[in-house]
Amino acid sequence: MIVGIVAISKNFAIGKGGKLPWHYGADMKFFKETTTGNAVVMGANTWRSIGKPLPNRLNIVLSGSSSVTPPPEVMRLAEKAEVVDLARYLNRDVYVIGGAKTYADFADVVEKWIVTEIPLTVEDADTFMPTDFLDEFELDETRDLGDDLHVKILHRR
């Protein structure tokens, strides 16, 4: 299954200056627990901001640029179709972890969204999710992570 996982602020911000504009240990722990043992796909900018493979996950960087050269333990695929094809053969979920362009590229194939709602408005953010990105999805469950963080799990209608 292809799953989008994102943390968004009240104003749909997801980034500032190439990084998350907040740090919540509970959200990081939830992200790690959710994605460990699965595959994660990210764009080149997200790869650069993380800077190293996420442990115990199949790391995939989506980039058509030959200048993006992750280490050998990280897959670089050039096109979304390659990720979609690979997902059919994996015995694990593929989590789309960002950034904004990668989320937009995968919007039509994401079957489930896991959205952490961050209780902030980030005034000077520079990267956002579209306000309608969940329009074709319905809520399955909500989880409370503490720290006023809530996770919504939604599936495509």
Per-residue pLDDT of the chain (157 residues; tens, 9 = 90+): 999 999 999 999 999 999 999 999 999 999 999 999 999 999 999 999 999 999 999 999 999 998 899 999 999 999 999 999 999 999 999 999 999 999 999 999 999 999 999 999 999 999 999 999 999 999 999 999 999 999 999 999 9
Radius of gyration of the chain (CA): 15
What's the CATH number where 146 sits?
A: 3.40.430.10
Angstrom distance (rounded) from CA 157 to CA 141: 14
Structure tokens at 32: 């790690």
Give the pLDDT confidence score for residue 45 in this predicted structure.
93
Predicted confidence at residue 98, as pLDDT, reads 96
**pLDDT for residue 61:** 97
Domain that holds residue 55: 2-156
| pLDDT (0 to 100) of residue 9 | 98
Q: Return phi, psi of residue 13, to 5°.
A: -70, 140
Backbone angles phi, psi at 16, to 5 degrees: -150, 120
How confident is the model at residue 33, as a pLDDT? 98
Task: Report how many domains make up the chain.
Answer: 1
**Residues of the chain by 3-state class (helix, strand, coil), percent to 5:** 20, 35, 45
| 13-15 and 94-96 beta bridge pairing | unpaired
Give the per-residue pLDDT at 120: 96
The label of the residue with tokens 């495509």 reads 156
> What pLDDT score does 17 carry?
93
- Burial tier of 66 (Cβ tally within 10 Å: 0-12, 13-18, 19+): exposed
- Which amino acid appears at position 116 of this protein? T
Return the pLDDT at 12. 98
Residue in this structure with the two tokens 């050269």, named with its chain if needed: 69
